[in-house]
Amino acid sequence: EQNYRSTSAILRAANNVIQLNPKLFPKTLWSDLGEGEPVKVAECDNEEHEAERAVGRLNAIHAGLVSSGQNADWHNFAILYRANHQARPFEQALRKANIPYKVSGGQSFFDRAEIKDLCAWLRLLLNNDDDPAFLRAVTTPKRGIGHQTLAALGEFAGKWKVSLFEALFAESLGTVLNQRALDGLHEFGRYINEFEDKARQTFGSEGAKEMLLAWLKDIGYEQHLHDNEENEKVAAARWSNVMDFIDWVAKRCGGDIDPDGAMTTETERRSVIEVAQTIALITSLAERDSDQNAVVLSTLHASKGLEWPHVVLAGVNEGVLPFSREEGEIPPGQIEEERRLMYVGITRARLSLSVSVLKRRKKGREYVQAVPSRFVAEMKLHEGAVREDPREKLRRLREEMAAKASARSALPDQAA
């Protein structure tokens, strides 16, 4: 029954939850690692607010601003959730904060083909010499520029040691391509130049959204998704991902209306090209697989058998955890399985655990009222906790500060 992973506060919450499941061999896990930091419950307005609070907590621990900030490299953090779709706002918040992450047990939102397509266009605006971005943009959606044309363009560019985009405007390109192929490439090149000009001159979220939607209509991207996907529901889901991406890019342009309804200042407005620069940077960073010092985003199922010093257990609401497709009572057998998942999530944490609940959650593209999961109350966080006397806590903190100061003074000047 001894657990060598988690602190007493975390194990007590786990025991309180799982004891409600009938079991053949009752047992109560215990730890000699001490009481540890209390399990925290974070109330959040919606998924975006939840992601912001989680990233804020990660940053605070990583910077050593809280007592549990030991072993605080990024790979010591995990954000766990019931379903894959819950990862999206966390990915967006982590990218905004330039925190490296990797997705386990599901596909990253930014690894989806439709999002990679749009990112390639934006990367090409910033760097016309980005040949991989050029090849993806010029062929998605299809525009009558075939493989033979691109092969000839590539051979020409290699011969003259220029990028594919630069090569398409070369006067001598007509010697290796027929007029129809040449016209198609020139039309694409002109469109990229015009798109870049608009992106530099468009500021603020409303203007950005209008411009980006016009761009998708110009290139026929929605029709492209339906033409290349046999299942209409899958095509619609991919288009919904595109709309979420456009909303995210537009929101990052800022400068219109903040979440509280107040107008933001002119200085906070950014152009589409400035936001595209950020997207290009975080996309290139994400492609560097060698960096394993990254926050883990994982489903609860994929987290079994793993552990991290610091865990955020996200979206702990009725209908999500425990999961339910419809309103109404959940069968006892299903509740027991969901409770075991909650137990798994709690016991992945070694030093600190934050459980977040939503007041509103997204259902489709609409927000609905959210109810905290019954599992939050079952943790009984206010029962049995070992509370430290405030005077004892103050004395301990003073001793820790004095010890750190003494250690610094003992170092040579250069090392200090």
Number of neighbouring beta carbons within 10 Å of residue 381: 18
Q: Are residues 279 and 148 in the same domain?
A: yes
Q: For residue 105, tell me if it sits in a domain.
A: no
Domain boundary (285, 310, 339) is at 285
Q: Are residues 127 and 255 in the same domain?
A: yes
Q: Rounded to whole angstroms, how far apart are CA atoms 219 and 142?
A: 9
CATH classification of the domain holding 25: 3.40.50.300
Q: For residue 1, tell me if it sits in a domain.
A: no
Distance of CA 39 to the CA centre of its chain: 23
Q: For residue 37, tell me if it sits in a domain.
A: yes
Q: Are residues 303 and 267 in the same domain?
A: no
Tokens 């992973």, located at residue: 5
Let me know the angle formed at the C-alpha of 327 by 325 and 333, rounded to the nearest 5 degrees: 65
Residue 170: CA atoms inside 13 Å, Cβ hemisphere, count? 21
CB 318 within 8 A of CB 358: no
Nearest in space to 245 (alpha carbons), one of 83, 103, 119: 119
Q: Are residues 36 and 89 in the same domain?
A: yes
Domain boundary (258, 285, 312) is at 285
Q: At what angle do helices 113-126 and 232-253 cross, to 10 degrees?
A: 40
Q: Are residues 128 and 92 in the same domain?
A: no
Q: Are residues 210 and 172 in the same domain?
A: yes
Let me know the angle formed at the C-alpha of 339 by 334 and 342, rounded to the nearest 5 degrees: 135
Nearest in space to 339 (alpha carbons), one of 20, 3, 1, 105: 20
pLDDT in tens, the chain (416 residues): 555 567 888 888 988 998 888 864 556 665 566 678 889 999 999 999 999 999 999 988 888 766 554 557 898 899 999 988 899 899 989 988 888 898 886 677 888 889 989 999 999 988 899 899 999 999 999 888 888 899 899 899 888 889 999 998 888 888 888 899 899 999 999 999 999 999 999 888 899 999 999 999 999 999 999 888 878 888 898 999 999 999 989 988 886 544 444 444 444 788 899 888 877 776 665 555 445 788 999 999 888 878 898 999 999 999 898 888 766 677 878 888 899 999 999 999 988 999 999 999 887 777 888 899 999 999 988 765 444 445 555 666 677 677 666 666 655 554 44
Q: For residue 200, tell me if it sits in a domain.
A: yes
Q: Are residues 212 and 240 in the same domain?
A: yes
Q: Are residues 124 and 196 in the same domain?
A: yes
Q: Are residues 135 and 261 in the same domain?
A: yes
Domains held by the chain: number: 3
Counting every residue, how long is the chain?
416
Q: For residue 2, tell me if it sits in a domain.
A: no
Q: For residue 399, tell me if it sits in a domain.
A: yes
Q: For residue 52, tell me if it sits in a domain.
A: yes
Q: Are residues 199 and 91 in the same domain?
A: no
Q: Are residues 338 and 354 in the same domain?
A: yes
Print the domain residue range for 403: 390-416
CATH classification of the domain holding 248: 1.10.486.10
Domain boundary (259, 285, 311) is at 285
Radius of gyration of the chain (CA): 26
Number of neighbouring beta carbons within 10 Å of residue 182: 16
Q: Are residues 129 and 274 in the same domain?
A: yes
Q: For residue 106, tell me if it sits in a domain.
A: no
CB 353 within 8 A of CB 40: yes
Q: What is the pTM of this model?
A: 0.62
